[in-house]
């Protein structure tokens, strides 16, 4: 087994072959995500773990050591389920045989995400184990519990370029109170180069769980930023003054001459008429 270091957000533990020096304390917030294989914003507020196959984060690992995968893991809970979502970065996904995936009791030689969980208000552990083991195939074609089926376990998944996401809902037998403590081991299974296999995860050894995850209060999403749109500026109104019309001198002269002529003619008429009466 390799001697590696695990890093969680704001916490780290040293792995020395068989013991863990300190336990990370992470708060699992209460909230209900949409089970659709997508990392909702609600997940980003709660417990978060990063794990890498290259040894830069803590892991118990076995295989050929050539995996280049990494994963981001998120945890939430509500009155009915513990929710665990993993975004696994994998350049060569889904290379296992389909018959093996569907018929084997535990098809770990595959691209998959495994969850070992121990905590209160869960179904009775099977086969003398002190934890449940849940399995999620990377292509979302199989969600199962090992040793004994757990009624109500369900999941969803999506695939993108160079990654896959699996989201699991692990049933509770009763609602949890704040401060309930859980232990987990998260394992990434990676088949690559045709048939070579690696498994890596968070834990001081295979099958060992990391404790200190405690249930907390509800998720509080940040207030959305409201963008205030500026009103468009009013269009500029251009006023055009009417053209100034200069007086027409020639026309006025004609009018004056006309009036003068009319006056003279009228005077002559009256004078002539008066002379005839005399």
pLDDT at 22 over 50: no
Q: What fold characterizes domain 5-218?
A: Immunoglobulin-like (2.60.40)
- Per DSSP, what are the bridge partners of residue 115? 134, 186
What tokens were used for 212? 């200190």
Tell whether pTM > 0.95.
Answer: no
* Residue 210 or residue 139, greater confidence: 139
**What span, in angstroms and rounded, lies between the C-alpha atoms of 133 and 128?**
12
Q: Residue 192 and residue 109: Cα distance in Å, rounded? A: 10
Residue 227 has pLDDT above 50, yes or no: yes
Do 115 and 144 touch, CB atoms closer than 8 A? no
DSSP string, 64-105: -S----EEEEEEEE-SSEEEEEEEEE-SS---S-HHHHHHSS
| Each residue's pLDDT tens digit, 78-99 | 999 999 999 999 988 877 777 8
**Confidence at residue 249, expressed as pLDDT on a 0 to 100 scale:** 53
Tally Cβ neighbours within 10 Å of residue 37: 17
Question: What are the residue boundaries of the structural domains of the chain, listed by start?
Answer: 5-218
Q: What are phi and psi of 50, to 5 degrees?
A: -115, 135
């Amino acid at each position: 087994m390799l001697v590696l270091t695990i890093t969680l957000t704001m916490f780290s533990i040293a792995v020395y072959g068989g013991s863990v020096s300190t336990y990370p304390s992470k708060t699992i917030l209460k909230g209900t995500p949409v089970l659709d294989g997508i990392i909702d914003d609600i997940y980003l507020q709660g417990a978060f773990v990063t794990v890498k196959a290259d040894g830069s984060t803590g892991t118990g690992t076995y295989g050929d050591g050539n995996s280049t995968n990494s994963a981001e893991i998120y945890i939430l809970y509500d009155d009915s389920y513990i929710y665990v979502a993993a975004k696994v970065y994998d350049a060569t996904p889904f290379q296992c045989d389909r018959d093996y995936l569907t018929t084997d009791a535990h098809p770990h030689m595959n691209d998959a995400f495994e969850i070992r969980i121990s905590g209160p208000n869960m179904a009775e552990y099977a086969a003398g184990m002190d934890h449940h083991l849940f399995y999620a195939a990377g292509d979302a074609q199989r969600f199962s519990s090992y040793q004994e089926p757990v009624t109500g376990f369900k999941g969803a998944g999506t695939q993108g370029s160079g990654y896959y996401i699996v989201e699991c809902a692990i049933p509770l037998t009763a609602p949890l109170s704040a401060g309930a403590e859980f232990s987990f081991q998260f394992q990434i299974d990676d088949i690559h180069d045709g048939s070579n296999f690696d498994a890596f995860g968070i834990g001081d050894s295979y099958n060992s769980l990391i404790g200190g995850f405690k249930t907390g209060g509800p998720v509080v999403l940040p207030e959305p930023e409201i963008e205030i749109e500026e009103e468009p500026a009013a269009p500029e109104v251009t006023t055009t003054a009417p053209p100034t019309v200069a007086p027409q001198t020639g026309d006025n002269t004609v009018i004056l001459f006309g009036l003068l002529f009319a006056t003279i003619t009228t005077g002559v008429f009256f004078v002539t008429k008066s002379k005839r009466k005399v």
